[in-house]
Structure 1
Amino acid sequence: MDPQPISFTTSFTVEWGDCDPARIVFYPHYFYWFDTAFQHWLRCAGLSQASLTERYGVVGTPILEAHAKFLVASTDGDRLLAEARIDKFGPKRFRIDYKLMRGQQLLVEGWEVRAWVAKVGDRLRSLPIPAEFGSALANVSTDEVRPVRVGHDRPHW
């Protein structure tokens, strides 16, 4: 895999339904936004969890570990920037570091460790990550922020 760090940036708006009664974001949403940033990165690279199954026979990239450090609260209407970064790929797993920002202010930082997993017989096994997967993510331009509507593109009636 390429030893150069690769990164991706997307943005979204915090919605009223993301907040708790104190009008601050309910903490599980940050983990959802981490995952959404990664899934959006895949899509911008022409991939998806489904296409990974079709192309490589894997069941996906399940999360083995997740962590978040909450520094500053955010609330309804805040425009957040999500930065995802992979410094290196291991043979069978990779770590994505995340920063959620409001303007220049760091609100949350965290990470996920994901594995490249396929069903082998009746068991799930981690397999070597193909170099072309990292290359596909690296080929997504980092010169622009790609806005995404996270979880809010369904009717609310």
Structure 2
Amino acid sequence: MEGGRTTRNRKPLATVGWRELVDLPDLGLHAIPAKIDTGARTSSLHATILEQYERGGESYVRFAVDFARQHVRQVCEAVQVDWRGITSSNGKTQRRMIIKTPLTIGAQTFRAEISLADRSDMKFPMLIGRSSLRRRFTVDSGHSWLQTPGRDPVEGHKP
């Protein structure tokens, strides 16, 4: 067998690097720098909660995503699907709001659960957890940008 690992039905899995640029098309967010983290179960997005409200019997959240380097603030709205206790890298558990929205990595778009969190002290505004990767991708931690169109793959880890 050549290429990446396969699922039971022999479909080859695409390979991601330890960092990729990803899209959240329904939120109007494109080319978000994301760290791939198989140690995290749930994906996470840097966001500031602006408002929670109901519409048509569903819970919604309006939140802002700040891109400090570009001095841009994108206001987004999504259906809130859950509240969940998420244990962060420092070992503390936080109660976080969970949304479900399409996520695009490379050529694949699928619905992903994403926690909204303050990631202002993190290098990457988004973290892609193993639930989003499962049965879709293998991870090559020695490379970057393997699924990022327009970026040449980079070998090595340069934080």
TM-score bin, normalised by smaller chain: under 0.3
- The two structures have a TM-score, normalised by structure 2, of 0.28
